[in-house]
């Protein structure tokens, strides 16, 4: 399960793969954010494929916010939760 959960996050942050895998196993909030990233990535691909530029742009903006949150988690380490 963690492999699938963090796949899109590792693809986006390949140099942080070890930290991502550790956080997924140790921090349920980070795992939830990874799940959001996966779902958002899939939705962005879907709407881009469907040719709905406006909806794809919305998901692109949401994905950026999620990635900012992931970056905050990665900066804080395995036991911390970022303040949002």
List the chain domain ranges: 2-75
Task: Determine the Cα–Cα distance for residues 25 and 55; give it in Å rounded to an integer.
Answer: 32
- C-alpha to C-alpha distance for 17 and 42, rounded to whole angstroms: 20
- pLDDT tens for 61-71 read 999 999 999 99
Helices 2-12 + 17-26 axis angle, to 10: 140
pLDDT at 6: 86
Query: CA 76, CA 12: separation in Å to the nearest integer?
Result: 18
Query: Residue 40 above 70 pLDDT?
Result: yes
């Amino acid at each position: 399960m963690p492999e699938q959960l963090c796949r899109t996050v590792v693809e986006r942050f390949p140099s942080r793969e070890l930290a991502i895998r550790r956080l997924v196993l140790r921090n349920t909030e980070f795992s939830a954010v990874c799940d959001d990233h996966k779902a958002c990535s899939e939705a962005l691909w879907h709407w881009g494929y469907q040719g709905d530029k406006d909806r794809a742009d919305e998901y692109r903006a949401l994905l950026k916010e999620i990635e900012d949150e992931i970056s905050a988690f990665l900066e804080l380490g395995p036991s911390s939760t970022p303040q949002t």
